[in-house]
Structure 1
Amino acid sequence: MATQVRGQAHATPRRRLLAVGLLGLVPWTVLLIDYGGPTVVNALFPLAVVDYNPALAPAVRVTPVWRFFAAGGGLPRNPELWPASILLHGAALASAAAGLADREDPRLTGGLLAFAGLAGLGVTLAFAHRLRYTPLPAGALLACALAWWYYGPALQAAILAPIREP
């Protein structure tokens, strides 16, 4: 009986692409901000920033990412790694899509996902020092988990493989 490597049961190219694509719907960092009244919630998604402040307005405000860049780099104060995590996730998505044509390099896709997750964790850590802010790295941890689940063996082989000398 063959042993099954983790993630192999669900490791079809279509499922990997779906998992990496759905990662774009998860907020990378959720900020719970306590100003003494109702808690303000900010969520940094790969495509938009979502703000919910029940004290000011009961509606949810969505700001697309392109507006930050169109404003001449007017990013909010702390998430300097946020654009890097967006680009890394987009590159991982493109690499996973190449798997549909049997052209995916799992080391590349896994590495891009892992680095996107680490950049997302950097965004979370950038907010951790602020008083009354509770950052939660939802998407960042999920990106690292996807890299481990689907691409862990390929990353392990790439990192720990012996170097052959000519």
Structure 2
Amino acid sequence: MDREHRRLLVYAALFLVPWSVVNARGVVTFVFPFGLLNFAPLELTDVVSFATVYTERLPEFLLGWPVGVGLYVAGLASVLSGLLFDREDPRVTAGLFAFAGVTQVTLALGFSRRVGTTAVPVGAALLWLAVWWYDWPAIRRTLSVEES
């Protein structure tokens, strides 16, 4: 498997990793790109239902999660476009994934401001690590060419 296929596989695998882990007074919620998984009671709320049904009177920091999912899906489409059609700007792809990570940091900070609640933006760290590993070398090459 070549580097570009591994890159797609790594970015796609981040769909299965919790982007944020929230502990609210002992009740743990995993925030995945596809939905919120609660354990007390066991319940999965998909991102589409969340964005279209449950957004009334919610704190604004929660609305960043569906936006991050959109950025992530656009990033995946960009990687796939590079593989299938040789049409990709790694700066755009990296930006989409990096900003998807920012939405999770915002979400984690919003939750952590609540008394008795902590949140860890696992997905942000993993997205940024993947961007650094797979896309930063191409971005750095582009920047050094523009400086010459």
TM-score interval, normalised by the smaller of the two chains: 0.7 to 0.9
Matched, 1:83 2:83: no
What SS is found at the alignment partner of 2:63?
A: coil
Deviation (angstroms), 1:159: 5.5
TM-score, normalised relative to structure 2: 0.86
Greater CA radius of gyration, 1 or 2? 1
Matched, 1:138 2:86: no
Shift in CA distance, 75/97, structure 1 to aligned 2, threshold 3 Å? farther
Matched, 1:120 2:104: yes
Aligned CA-pair RMSD: 2.2
Matched, 1:73 2:55: yes
Quote the Cα distance in structure 1 between the aligned partners of 2:66 and 2:145.
31
TM-score, normalised relative to structure 1: 0.78
**Is the Cα–Cα contact under 8 Å of residues 29 and 139 in structure 1 kept in the other structure?**
yes
Matched, 1:96 2:79: yes
Deviation (angstroms), 1:108: 1.5
Shift in CA distance, 74/154, structure 1 to aligned 2, threshold 3 Å? farther
Structure 2 runs not aligned, ≥5 long: none
Structure 1 runs not aligned, ≥5 long: 1-9
Q: Percent identity?
A: 36
Alignment of 1:1-166 (within 5 A): 12-34=3-25, 39-53=26-40, 57=41, 60-71=42-53, 73-74=55-56, 76-77=58-59, 78-101=61-84, 102-158=86-142, 162=146
What SS is found at the alignment partner of 2:30?
A: strand
Q: Flag the structure with higher helix content.
A: 2
**Is the Cα–Cα contact under 8 Å of residues 82 and 88 in structure 2 kept in the other structure?**
yes
**Is the Cα–Cα contact under 8 Å of residues 11 and 150 in structure 1 kept in the other structure?**
no
Runs of 4+ in structure 1 deviating by more than 4 angstroms, as ranges, are 157-161
Deviation per CA, 1:40-92: give whole Å up to 9, x if none.
11111111110012xxx4xx211111112231733743412112211110000
Quote the Cα distance in structure 2 between the aligned partners of 1:75 and 1:15.
41
What SS is found at the alignment partner of 1:80?
A: helix
